[in-house]
Amino acid sequence: MAKQNIQTLKGFRDFSPKTMRFRNEAIKRVREIFEKYGFEEIQTPALEYQEVLLGKYGEEAEKLMYLFDDPGGRGVGLRYDLTVPLARYIAQNQDTPMPFKRYQIQPVWRADKPQRGRYREFLQCDVDTVGSFSPIADAEILAIIWDVVQNAFNFPDFEIKINSRPVLFSSMEKAKIPQKKWPSVIQSIDKLDKKSRGEVEEELHTRGINGDQIANVFSAIDKAKPDNYLRQVVKFAQNMGVTNLVFTPALARGLDYYTGTIFETVVTKPKIGSIIGGGRYDKLLGDLGGPDLPAVGTTIGLDRCMDVIQELNLWKDIPPAIMGLVTTFDKKLSYASINVSNILRSGGINNIIFPDFEKNLKKQFKYADKLNIPLVFIIGPEEFESEQVTIKNLKTGIQETVLQKELVDKARLHI
């Protein structure tokens, strides 16, 4: 039998226990902020009918979808984002009280070209308000973004770029670009953070936009100012404590379903592109056959945020999930080790009991060190006779022997 080529698919990744500790901490912090602002969690299936997914994002996005027929011959696809599934959810649950404030933390899939910060399977953290036209709803999403980036992730240097689709539409109207070509032009302009202006102009030529129109649309964008609605959003957001807002008239957000305010968050270092993006989409639910309700929200790209956190080494104090290892001296004392482990777990101290009592303590210590477990709990014959336990802190080298009834309190002093 030929030897298997054992590897992950391109754009897909395994996550080690150490990596998962950081990811879970990030999810925990994001979830706490979402709930602080009054949002509640939902989840939707990984698979949707193709008719739900198609026609919502634009041609370029649809090229990246994982679409296939299931064993029953039904056309299905892996979700491309969490916004369209939310719209489908609302269409199916029309008795939901409005405004509906939901968050969702689940993976999505895109057959994109794998590169730094761009994966084919990645986790999105979405937060949306459905059922409100108020600029306060937009401002609150911006406040959440700022809270996550500033307080949860501790990013030292970032900006929240903000624009509006009506501002962009006005620029194209002034450039005399036919309305039917607006979505196509937006898709090209959206690439200005990845391509040079000359490359974008060349792409616009291939989309049937003439030279005068291209010059005029860029001139109009350069002169653009926030409209009244966007000014209200900014004012409310600033009142909520948001800083780092930058009006960016060339910001486009390539997906077709955006109708109003749009925003993206970028960090100065590392150069990784947008880490958070979103906006207002007031027609998507109606397009799905559901209620004609407005909506605004954002997606926090957790994977890119984690890349920033790790590259800048921002989180140095994340405690390990497992705080202790309970040694087993020999078979006779294994029940005493189990008892110590139970005492620690009852006191909220996660621990491993070493299962192989035939291995000496030195090997058990090495095992704990490899797993970055800070505390080792030893119960040998002397400790057993005196109802004590020896605590060894592998980080500080401090060791002490304590009574079992004091074990949890003493162990906490080492954490």
State the CATH number of the domain containing residue 337.
Answer: 3.40.50.800
For residue 399, the cross-strand partners are 392
**Per-residue pLDDT at 10:** 93
Length of the chain: 415
Where is 20: in which H helix or E strand? Answer: helix 17-36
Asked whether 138 and 280 are in contact (CB, 8 A), the reply is: yes
* Distance in angstroms (rounded) separating the CA atoms of residues 285 and 9: 34
**Per-residue pLDDT at 351:** 97
3 lies in a domain?
Answer: no
* Distance in angstroms (rounded) separating the CA atoms of residues 249 and 256: 17
Same domain? For 301 and 338 the reply is: no
Task: Enter the tokens of residue 211.
Answer: 């030279």
5 lies in a domain?
Answer: no
Whichever domain contains 73, its CATH number is 3.30.930.10
Asked whether 207 and 185 are in contact (CB, 8 A), the reply is: yes
Where is 389: in which H helix or E strand? Answer: strand 388-393
Report the candidate in 336, 334, 324 with the shortest Cα–Cα distance to residue 367. Answer: 324
Same domain? For 299 and 329 the reply is: no
Query: Final residue of a domain: which of 311, 345, 371?
Result: 311
Same domain? For 92 and 224 the reply is: yes
* Distance in angstroms (rounded) separating the CA atoms of residues 88 and 325: 48
- Burial, 47: exposed, middle or buried (Cβ in 10 Å; 0-12, 13-18, 19+)? middle
Where is 160: in which H helix or E strand? Answer: strand 158-164
Same domain? For 307 and 328 the reply is: no
Same domain? For 373 and 277 the reply is: no
Same domain? For 282 and 198 the reply is: yes
Residue-number span of the structural domain to which 78 is assigned? 17-311
Report the candidate in 33, 3, 29, 27 with the shortest Cα–Cα distance to residue 15. Answer: 27
- The most distant pair of C-alpha atoms in the chain lies apart, rounded to whole Å, by 92
Q: What is the pLDDT along the chain (415 residues), one digit of tens a residue?
A: 567 778 999 999 999 998 999 999 999 999 999 999 999 999 999 999 999 999 888 788 899 999 999 999 999 999 999 988 998 999 899 899 999 999 999 999 999 888 877 899 999 999 999 999 999 999 999 999 999 999 999 999 999 999 999 998 898 888 888 888 888 888 888 888 778 888 888 888 888 888 888 888 888 888 889 999 999 999 999 999 999 999 999 898 877 789 999 999 999 888 888 899 999 999 988 887 778 999 999 999 999 999 999 999 999 878 888 999 999 999 999 999 999 999 999 999 999 999 998 889 999 999 999 999 999 999 999 999 999 999 999 999 999 999 999 999 999 999 8
How many Cβ atoms from other residues are within 10 Å of residue 322's Cβ? 18
166 lies in a domain?
Answer: yes
Task: Enter the tokens of residue 50.
Answer: 């193709």
**What one-character-per-residue DSSP string does 366-388 give?**
HHHHHTT--EEEE--HHHHHTTE
Query: Final residue of a domain: which of 311, 339, 357?
Result: 311
Same domain? For 307 and 329 the reply is: no
* Distance in angstroms (rounded) separating the CA atoms of residues 132 and 140: 12
11 lies in a domain?
Answer: no
**Per-residue pLDDT at 185:** 85
Same domain? For 360 and 386 the reply is: yes
Let me know how many helices (H) and strands (E) the chain has, helices first: 16, 16
Read off φ and ψ for residue 366, nearest 5 degrees: -60, -40
Same domain? For 273 and 339 the reply is: no
Where is 146: in which H helix or E strand? Answer: helix 135-147
Task: State the sign of the Cα–Cα–Cα–Cα dihedral 197, 201, 207, 209.
Answer: positive
| Distance spanning both ends of the chain, measured CA to CA | 51
317 lies in a domain?
Answer: no
How many Cβ atoms from other residues are within 10 Å of residue 148's Cβ? 25
10 lies in a domain?
Answer: no
Same domain? For 207 and 335 the reply is: no
Question: How big is the CA angle at 28 (ends 125 and 43), to the nearest 5 degrees?
Answer: 45
Helices (H), 148-255: 165-174, 182-189, 197-206, 211-223, 228-239
Q: Are strands 324-326 and 375-378 parallel, antiparallel or unpaired?
A: parallel
316 lies in a domain?
Answer: no
Same domain? For 35 and 57 the reply is: yes
Task: Enter the tokens of residue 214.
Answer: 């291209």
**Per-residue pLDDT at 107:** 96
Query: Final residue of a domain: which of 282, 311, 340?
Result: 311
- How many distinct structural domains can be found in the chain? 2
DSSP 8-state class, residue 128: E
**Per-residue pLDDT at 1:** 58
2 lies in a domain?
Answer: no
* Distance in angstroms (rounded) separating the CA atoms of residues 136 and 122: 30
**Per-residue pLDDT at 66:** 97
Same domain? For 34 and 74 the reply is: yes
**Per-residue pLDDT at 91:** 87
Radius of gyration (C-alpha) of the chain in whole angstroms: 27
* Distance in angstroms (rounded) separating the CA atoms of residues 147 and 150: 5
